[in-house]
Structure 1
């Protein structure tokens, strides 16, 4: 702690010297910070996660995007994945890890997808175990979302760990003058049923909101031609034919067969606020989740997962203490779990050449909680400068680990069968916690009415791996009313997850307590241009360099791999978007992104990301009653990871359409939506052991995605 305080003092002193020098340089400028951040009538959308204070996207010192509830309605999206895939440079898909989602920015990919930060109302939805947002996902319905704020690029200078490649903040609906009470229902393909309600009320100075949504679906049962157990079956045949095995083991694979993707999801988001405080409650319950293509790449038609995510947050809104000084703060508690509703068969009955006649069963469960306290002050007493100074405390606690399994650490059968190893030395990960104390400072200097510089840094001190400092600098130039230019630099980090530091009884992957955090340095240039009042163009280029990338390295003479800081990656690319309104009836949006990500250790492409993506949306209002939407997604060819000799994953196109009808005399809306209208064969890359000619990939033909999906919904406002 002494070392932390010393570095904090140095950070504050350095920042103060920097701010003083800028103040001296700009003492003749007239613009004040509040004027610089004033709402631009030509660009009303605001993003808060870029600066910690509300600022228009046009002036934000970051590559930022805001998607509103109206945008979501216009695109006809039903799930968060569909919404985020409309953003250039962001590709969201489901992975080989039980169908868990992965938010990948700019080709920065890994098995669990821990390099992006997903938040709801400013509270991170992160699991300290894997660094992801949990395998029990099931979907994230969108009827409760007011807007989504997205930053592409590093965000650790304000947001801390895991805002590595980008950050997504979901803001749930609150009571405002614009919203109406709504109830709705929908039915669709795969026996999908959906109910929701958005209820708002005012009592005196308090505004109350309750958003509830229920979804149940059998899920898309994509066909899997062969799986990991197929490989083992073929190996058993070969060993028998060569005389190594004295018997020919029976084939155990459930492939060819279908994925198990059904789920039940319940979401509740409630908040109460007045001019001073905001209280928020979030509940996500997931039940009866199929494990898609299986936990280890072997089809499991009966295994089921569940889990919860609970959020409590109390926020003190900006409180003026004087003309120049404002304070605010918040405290939150986030709890989440992974639960096994039905035994998980890592391999089916008869697996491992008959050694497991009842199947290889492993049921890892846990509960964890994260407590956060943060306070910050905004001071604008220096001419043309606004300083934000804050700090906080985070405690991540893995407080309940449970496991039952019928195998030992060396994959040999446990003679006692399925045994509960909770609270024993055989459990897959020990219960533990970590603490983090942090301090951040940021200054926004208005050099002129048109030019501003944002500079800041954050110092984090972790109880398990030590300290990290992450700075950022951004220059924004409003060249004229139509053109904005930005130059950005930032550093970010990702804290090692407990699965990377502490796993001890896993037959495949082991933790390393000596890991360092991963780091990334990013440089970006951007422009925003509005040639006329009906059109707006955004373009940016970027380059990044990643050090200490955590990689699982095979252990000599063992079946396990251990986490190591051996990876180095670089990447570069560009992103562009054009939003236009051809007339009052015709509006549209088109964007594209290109990225090239390199593994500097393997001297090869990183793989498992699309180098080129494109998106087009056209909205046409037929009349006061009928609105239509057409969307086209293009996902380019995806290279394989180094060492995987399979052909690249094919590019694909997806066409979506929607039509809504609003009744003239009733506040009711009917909508018909279709996804993948052309029923294209869409596949995302399967991962696993590289196909080096010796060890085959678990699912060689990749992961099938839903074909044509139909949905009919009705909603009414009151």
Structure 2
């Protein structure tokens, strides 16, 4: 890939980290603000609006929320959101054929992350085409992330569709309102480079924040001995043995401006990659996936009646461009329709526009009640759907426009509205009850009513009991409803029903002091009308989306965090029993998951971090001859040097090694077409340089 103008601009900014005139210019100011900033960050990390849509201390709500801070992220040398989630209790990370990250939470698997609501600074970034925000935001760089909040239970009472099994809110440094400039560069063994520049400034009551990030990598290109053609009649033309195609280029620009009452924020992401395994799971160097996403919102907030009533309103606009240029099958591929001399090519294009509005009223009408009432409306439109291909499905002599006769997706639109109500009843200083309900109505798939009830009871100075019941739902995505047989081998079904989920959980928390906290949780969930893919054995027959029945999931989770000065230790382990309606284990779900992170600031300017993540054996489908997917333990290690070892304040150097012991591992692949599943890379290393002006 050639160096682009974006890369040159960001390189110029990043190179300022080696300019002596800059390095020593503002040391005194940075030192003076350090203590004030630390106090603000402590409060920022201890408070979250994720569970109730109003600011609350994280430990006092009935919900289970995990908060991973920027300091945690930097110490472990995490590269993106996916790396961070690996250490979140009962979250299993996977991948799909085109390389999109996949999330399984508490035994409930996703095709990507469509069952988990993903937000950035409170803005829903789900892609209506596929559902969920995995395509862009699980690969989001950590350079400008201040914290990641994870709610691992249904959140549809407040957040509607997609919050079927959980909610993830990525909070950027925009939220801090600091005056600063930060430049960073990052390089790794996959010939990768990431450049980031962040700048924020206040002028009177106006605060402006901006961030630019550029990423370029050749990717790990994992060796693959066999692909989906290797054991078929087309084995002779398979490109295997070869490597996955994991190059990627990504540009990311964010901007925010706010006063006391008005806030505007937006983000533009342009991402291109090589398609990993291809939708047909046949290796190719000729696939190019091109996606662009823009989201924005304009919010207004005010208070009335001596601050007894607060109003928040938000206008939303999102835009998505989809341009997949896929080499589905190699040259001389044969099926019942004939032989394809140049292979099968499918160029799929579409655009989605979303317009919406949100309103939320919070009222302290009684001394012990906080009432929240809200509404949301959104209109989305899938349009400019085009298909260029060299088949229809018989071979064609060239790549031509077949949109009128052999399109890959139907054009569609969707409108929904919702209302939600929540009451936070503070019975006394130790007892909080939260109950809520939300009604969503979709013009294409019907309506859903989601309710929740939770209790947080501190029955001893060191102990807290949390009880929670929650409901979740997910409306089918455009792809699941309207995908046509052309293109990638998937076919939608307009008769699909929304998925639903009911979860009961109980948690005991013991916090001896600030140095020791233990959390033990048990849960039981039942998901109905789960949307799955019905796989076909033939390469020429499309797999179908279908409501696949019921999943029952139950399990326990244990989390411990402690400090034995100066060492910090956090660890979690979970066991989940997840079954489908036939009583079989859900394929791809690992019952045992675990993580441990040890952080040791062993000198004034040095920090050592080692982390472990364990994924147990994952079940296979009853008719899958490959058997279970092997378990694996990954080890990462990072060394951080702060303030230029005392010589250059604001300069950080973080060196990290990922998969330290070069473990051979794979993520589950469900169709049975890949003998060795989705194999992942071995050991790698990267170097991260950050300088704060």
Cα separation, partners in 2 of 1:496 and 1:166, compared to 1, 3 Å: same
1-side partners of 2:639 and 2:98: how far apart? Answer: 33
Which of 253, 272, 275 is the matching residue for 2:260? 275
Q: Answer yes or no: is 1:450 the counterpart of 2:430.
A: yes
Aligned position for 1:563: 545
Contact 1:175 1:201 (8 Å CA) reproduced: no
Contact 1:43 1:56 (8 Å CA) reproduced: no
Q: Answer yes or no: is 1:421 the counterpart of 2:432.
A: no
1-side partners of 2:479 and 2:141: how far apart? Answer: 28
Contact 1:105 1:166 (8 Å CA) reproduced: yes
Contact 1:100 1:137 (8 Å CA) reproduced: no
Aligned position for 1:525: 506
Aligned position for 2:563: 581
Contact 1:629 1:657 (8 Å CA) reproduced: yes
Contact 1:194 1:215 (8 Å CA) reproduced: yes
The residue correspondences of 1:693-712 to structure 2 (distance < 5 A) are 697-712=672-687
Which of 683, 688, 692 is the matching residue for 1:713? 688
Aligned position for 1:346: 328
Which of 609, 614, 638 is the matching residue for 1:629? 609
Q: 1:361-381: CA deviations, max 9, x gaps? A: 112122212222111111111
2-side partners of 1:556 and 1:715: how far apart? Answer: 50
The residue correspondences of 1:228-267 to structure 2 (distance < 5 A) are 228-232=228-232, 235=233, 251-267=236-252
Q: 1:404-443: CA deviations, max 9, x gaps? A: 11222xx432x34322123x14211121110001100011
Aligned position for 2:10: none
The residue correspondences of 1:205-244 to structure 2 (distance < 5 A) are 205-232=205-232, 235=233
The residue correspondences of 1:306-455 to structure 2 (distance < 5 A) are 306-340=290-324, 343-352=325-334, 355-408=339-392, 411-413=393-395, 415-422=396-403, 424-455=404-435
State the Cα distance separating 1:382 from its structure 2 match: 2.5
Contact 2:517 2:560 (8 Å CA) reproduced: yes
Contact 2:318 2:355 (8 Å CA) reproduced: yes
The residue correspondences of 1:612-651 to structure 2 (distance < 5 A) are 612-651=592-631
Cα separation, partners in 2 of 1:494 and 1:416, compared to 1, 3 Å: same
Which of 639, 643, 664 is the matching residue for 1:681? 664
2-side partners of 1:155 and 1:318: how far apart? Answer: 26
Contact 1:175 1:209 (8 Å CA) reproduced: no
2-side partners of 1:258 and 1:175: how far apart? Answer: 41
SS of the aligned residue for 1:229 comes to: coil
1-side partners of 2:537 and 2:252: how far apart? Answer: 46
1-side partners of 2:41 and 2:60: how far apart? Answer: 9
State the Cα distance separating 1:326 from its structure 2 match: 1.3
State the Cα distance separating 1:504 from its structure 2 match: 3.1
Aligned position for 2:91: 90
Q: 1:310-352: CA deviations, max 9, x gaps? A: 1111122353344421111212111122223xx4211111112
SS of the aligned residue for 2:603 comes to: coil
Residues 172-181 or 68-77, more deviating:
172-181
Contact 2:179 2:202 (8 Å CA) reproduced: no
Aligned position for 1:122: 122
Contact 2:380 2:413 (8 Å CA) reproduced: yes
2-side partners of 1:128 and 1:44: how far apart? Answer: 31
Cα separation, partners in 2 of 1:555 and 1:86, compared to 1, 3 Å: closer
The residue correspondences of 1:62-81 to structure 2 (distance < 5 A) are 62-81=63-82
Cα separation, partners in 2 of 1:372 and 1:709, compared to 1, 3 Å: same
SS of the aligned residue for 1:352 comes to: strand
SS of the aligned residue for 1:77 comes to: coil
State the aligned residue count: 647
State the Cα distance separating 1:67 from its structure 2 match: 1.3
SS of the aligned residue for 2:236 comes to: coil
2-side partners of 1:582 and 1:374: how far apart? Answer: 46
Structure 1: where are the runs of 5+ without partners?
A: 1-38, 237-249, 689-696
Aligned position for 2:156: 156
Aligned position for 2:284: 300
2-side partners of 1:42 and 1:578: how far apart? Answer: 21
SS of the aligned residue for 1:622 comes to: strand
Q: 1:453-472: CA deviations, max 9, x gaps? A: 11110001111122110011
SS of the aligned residue for 1:605 comes to: coil
2-side partners of 1:42 and 1:118: how far apart? Answer: 23
Cα separation, partners in 2 of 1:200 and 1:230, compared to 1, 3 Å: same
Aligned position for 1:50: 51
State the Cα distance separating 1:290 from its structure 2 match: 1.0
Q: Answer yes or no: is 1:541 the counterpart of 2:526.
A: no
Q: 1:482-531: CA deviations, max 9, x gaps? A: 22111100111010112222223438433222221111110010122111
SS of the aligned residue for 1:344 comes to: strand
State the Cα distance separating 1:103 from its structure 2 match: 1.9
SS of the aligned residue for 1:417 comes to: strand
Aligned position for 2:3: none
The residue correspondences of 1:462-501 to structure 2 (distance < 5 A) are 462-501=442-481
Cα separation, partners in 2 of 1:260 and 1:320, compared to 1, 3 Å: same
2-side partners of 1:76 and 1:134: how far apart? Answer: 21
State the Cα distance separating 1:687 from its structure 2 match: 2.3
1-side partners of 2:345 and 2:41: how far apart? Answer: 58
State the Cα distance separating 1:140 from its structure 2 match: 1.7
TM-score where L is the length of structure 2: 0.89
Cα separation, partners in 2 of 1:653 and 1:63, compared to 1, 3 Å: same
Aligned position for 2:9: none
SS of the aligned residue for 1:381 comes to: strand
Q: 1:564-613: CA deviations, max 9, x gaps? A: 33411100011121111101x2112111111111011x321012122111
